[in-house]
Amino acid sequence: MPLTEVRHNQETPQRQMELFLRFFGKEECEPLHSWGPGLRDLYIIHYVISGSGEFSTGGETYQLSQGQGFLIMPGAIVHYTADESDPWVYTWIGFDGLHARAFVQRAGLSVTQPIFRAKGANWFDTSHQQLMDAHETGIRDILYQSILYRLIGELIECAEPALAEEQPLRANSKETYINEAITYIENNYSQKTTVEQIAQAVGLDRTYLSSLFKQQFDLSLQAFLLQFRMNRAVELLSSKQLSVSDISRSVGYTDPFLFSKMFKKVIGQSPRRTRELLEEQGRL
């Protein structure tokens, strides 16, 4: 079955603040069907519906069968091959987004721990059909996101018992600080929120907190806050009831000229041009 790509208009700003579905598919493999060695630039989860095969990454090789799955990490060299006598059937889903890495880490998945096992009979067996059904609807974008979040939730649930046994939660872990900062931004981006205020709310030095964001998202805390605001502004532009000045105030800018300048810097075009594109696409 071919890959189903989730297409986005190239002129439309991509939503970088959330999990973002890129493509999905299903493969009924021939014996010894393989991919790689190679690398990908986003996260791809494979789930084995039946049969078996092997997956290699990070210098390790794993034998997988029904009910197991593996994660391809961005930039990691991987190689996987279907069994000769019992080739696997698997589904896959590719995604990215600024929260993707944090969610993947919460699920306990990494280059050194890329394997998961589904719990019981399971939602993973039906997820591909759910995506195909969503693809035929007029609200596919909403349904895609719902299914993707459910996938991440299932992965986290698979991991939680093992994580609880192997490594007790640390109240002051780097991930905890980052998540607290993101929550603060989500709750306060419409105000005159500063990096200093975010750092104070989390209880860290602003320079150190910004370095954590740089490690996690390849963005400074200031850049993360700015991009969050501008992506929220893109969403608000779909409402004809709001003027550009209204949207400026709604994302924390009292000066609409400064807002427009920053919007163009981040998104690559003016708020008015973005609204025109949304209208051309029938999204207003």
Residue 103 belongs to domain with CATH number: 2.60.120.280
Domain shared by 106 and 184, yes or no: no
- Average pLDDT (182-208) is 88
Residue ending a domain, among 166, 182, 206, is: 166
Q: What per-residue confidence (pLDDT) applies to 121?
A: 58
Domain shared by 104 and 223, yes or no: no
Q: What per-residue confidence (pLDDT) applies to 2?
A: 55
Residue range 98-150, pLDDT digits in tens? 778 878 888 888 888 899 998 765 788 888 899 999 888 888 888 888 999 99
Residue 259 confidence class, pLDDT cut points 50, 70, 90 = very high
pLDDT for 96 beyond 90:
no
Residue ending a domain, among 122, 144, 166, is: 166
Residue ending a domain, among 107, 141, 166, is: 166
Domain shared by 159 and 188, yes or no: no
Domain shared by 91 and 142, yes or no: yes
pLDDT for 58 beyond 70:
yes
CATH of the domain at 205: 1.10.10.60
- What does the H/E/C string look like for 251-283? CCCCCHHHHHHHHHHHHCCCHHHHHHHHHHCCC
Domain shared by 79 and 161, yes or no: yes
Interatomic CA distance for residues 253 and 274, integer angstroms: 18
Q: How many domains does the chain have?
A: 2
Domain shared by 157 and 28, yes or no: yes
- pTM (2 d.p.): 0.60
Q: What per-residue confidence (pLDDT) applies to 24?
A: 92
Domain containing 92 equals 4-166
Q: What per-residue confidence (pLDDT) applies to 284?
A: 56
Q: What per-residue confidence (pLDDT) applies to 8?
A: 43
